[in-house]
Amino acid sequence: MRTAGILCDRQIRQRVSSGEIEIVPFDESCIQPASYDVHLSRKFKRYHDSSSAIIDTKLPVGDLMYDIES
């Protein structure tokens, strides 16, 4: 397999078609001029506004975060 720098949209399409690059699931609308948009999940967590500027990740988050689904 060859290494490549940044690929343009045409090169991304060619390499997906040839099987050199595998994107599952592949969505043509995710191709940009020099990238492919990757979506990891529709769910994520967001911190509530807090009076504390420091959040210690070693402690339980409790009510500091809430779920969001896009």
Amino acid (1-letter code) at residue 60: P
What is the predicted pLDDT for the residue at 4?
60
In this structure, which amino acid lies at residue 63? D
Ordered per-residue pLDDT tens for the chain, 70 residues: 565 688 999 999 999 999 999 999 999 999 999 999 998 888 888 887 766 667 777 888 777 788 899 8
Closest of 43, 44, 63, 66 to residue 52, by C-alpha? 63
Those residues whose C-beta lies under 8 Å from the C-beta of residue 48, and which sit 6 or more positions away, are 63, 64, 65, 66
Cα–Cα separations (whole angstroms), residue 10 to 5, 21, 26, 59, 60: 14, 13, 15, 47, 47
